Chain A
Amino acid sequence: MALLEVENLNVDLSTAMGPARAVRNLNLTLDRGQSLGIVGESGCGKSMTALALMGLLPENAVTTGEIRLSNENLLKKSERDLCSIRGNRMAMIFQEPMTSLNPVHSVGRQIMEPLRLHRGLSKTDAKKKALQLMDRVGIPNPEERIANFPHQLSGGQRQRVMIAIALSCEPDILIADEPTTALDVTIQDQILELIHNLVAEEGMALILISHDLGVIAENTEKVAVMYGGTVVESGATDQIFGQLSHPYTQGLFAAMPKLGMSRNKRLTTIPGTVPDLVNLPSGCTFTDRCPLASNICKETTPPIEELGPAHTVACHNLKKAIEARSTGLYE
């Protein structure tokens, strides 16, 4: 039995323009200790998916489908039960370390909070554990730093504090939503490596969200490629990188800076922008930007086809897409 199973998840946000379909018919599975990457351009519903898993969507959101954690549907659970799961069995790190910590509490207090809440630790015990955690996530001089306020720490250090908070109760699943996007390039790799190592040591499952295919390739065993609020291709990381299939995945790959690429060669980009979620086009939502689009793409939702064991792609023109792989769709 998988640790986490997401079935037919839909998130609709009511907006002034009408309902926006931020997540549509999304399916995911995650085993204990497994790592899953969710990748896609910004605005394609990655954060909304993560927040739906945590049950922390904004008030204007309506969620349907099933999110089963150890076979229990979280969408049917009371708020009280969800509170005992959040930060305890499922923890999350956010994109913005600069604003994700409470400016008026010391970082020590913020790390101790989940320990006191879920583990019922005394102040002294929680502090001891917080010091260990700070050491573990690579914050120098924890004894001094524990009394610091967020504004006294750099962005990278704050993200380490966030990781310490997330790790504190040894969750089954760690969700990291673009944990390095807001950080300096030099710090990004350190933080990713830290997450990678901690997850391996703790045997936690990881959901790593990024718009950067490279980050996902290096850090996760499985990948789900999201576009327009749904998964267009998913499978094992080496499967996907070995046989790029969906035109959108190929586009993301083409847009990645590659080692040894000459500097004056411009990066390939996918033409156009992500679809408007309020007025989603019928059929395949990638039609407008797809070099292979045909009439059928406009009219009907593409079927989900299995290319290999657990490697699925949703595309009408899959054969053509696979043939175009060698020549490159976007040159």
Chain B
Amino acid sequence: MSVFFAKRFLTFLATLVGASIVIFIVMEILPGDPALVILGVDATDEAVLALTKELGLDRPALERYFSWISGMMQGDLGISYAYRVPVWELVEGALKITIPLAILAMTLSVILALVIGLYAAANHNKIGDVSLMGFSQLGISVPNFWLAILLILFFAVNLRWLPAGGFPGWEEGIWACFKALILPALALATVQGAMLARITRSSVLEVFREDYVRTARAKGLSQRRTLWGHVLRNSMIPVLTAMGFQFANLLAGTVVIENVFHIPGLGSTVLKAINNRDTIVVENVVLLLAGMVVLTNFVVDLLYAVIDPRLKAHDI
């Protein structure tokens, strides 16, 4: 197990380093001079040059990359070019919204997927299965921002159950924040959940054809006990893989959805930073997002080993 863990952890670190290099290079290539954007088109060349120097942007790229990384290792993300405040201050509040939003969306999508996928598999080719799979096809094809608008119209404008957007802040209490996050989470979860539901269904159906399921039935286990005791855990392996992949999509989705709902999360932060050419903020936020994706996949890998004892043995 420890070899398995160590290997996974090394992969985790290597991926993060790779991601930081790619992000840095992309931001270097991106046109637009931060000093010019901050000072406006009317600024004199001397003023722009002075600001460039002040921001430390005149140093060679390699030096800036290493100072970014070494700063980060000491917990210093640098100073925002646009706002002249530590990047961490901009990011901290946003993280406290985006992480709960992502977790809520993921949880909702897994619940949706398991309920729909298991029900459909248990009623294979019956009316419930066919209609649920039809709905899930629909769920996959609907763009999440459009679904977000529909949700706002229905739950916020018509029914007035939930706020149409904005975020009250955690000091207003968990319930108020939950109400603000539930619609964005639902908009994010529907597409993911619909996809996961289809994967769950086909995986369960596949495992039902396995020899060991026949053995379980030959022992006298009912169809239902076989499903819970023997099929479910084995069928979760492809579902887990898909969840790992989907998490990146989900975070990308938050950038859009946070803007639809006017939620000051990482997504809004990064969009604003891009517009301001606040490269240092963009780099840090994107790396944070990448880090969350890599961390999720790391956890998924560990979960594999929990589900399937064969993986521990082979140290994949």
Contacts and interface: CB of A to CB of B under 8 A. Distances in A.
Interface in B199-221: 210-212, 214-221
A321 B214 CA distance: 41
Interface string A72-113: 000000011001111110011010100111111100001001
A114 B216 CA distance: 9
Contacts of B222: 79-80, 83
A94 B310 CA distance: 22
A241 interface: no
B212 A83 contact: no
Given A96-B211, A104-B233, A151 B309 contact: yes
Contacts of B130: none
A189 B65 CA distance: 69
A84 B211 contact: no
A113 B221 contact: yes
Given A104-B234, A149-B309, A151-B309, A99 B221 contact: no
Contacts of A103: 212, 234, 308-310
Given A83-B222, A151-B310, A102 B217 contact: no
A165 interface: yes
A197 interface: no
Contacts of B216: 102, 113
B8 interface: no
B307 interface: yes
Contact of A56 (B210, B212, B214, B229): B214
A92 B233 CA distance: 24
Interface string B16-45: 000000000000000000000000000000
B3 interface: no
Interface of B: 210-212, 214-223, 229-230, 233-234, 307-310, 313
15 contacts: A80-B222, A84-B220, A86-B217, A88-B220, A92-B218, A94-B218, A99-B210, A100-B215, A102-B216, A102-B234, A103-B234, A104-B234, A113-B219, A149-B309, A165-B215
Interface of A: 54, 56, 79-80, 83-88, 91-92, 94, 96, 99-105, 110, 113-114, 117-118, 149, 151-152, 162, 165
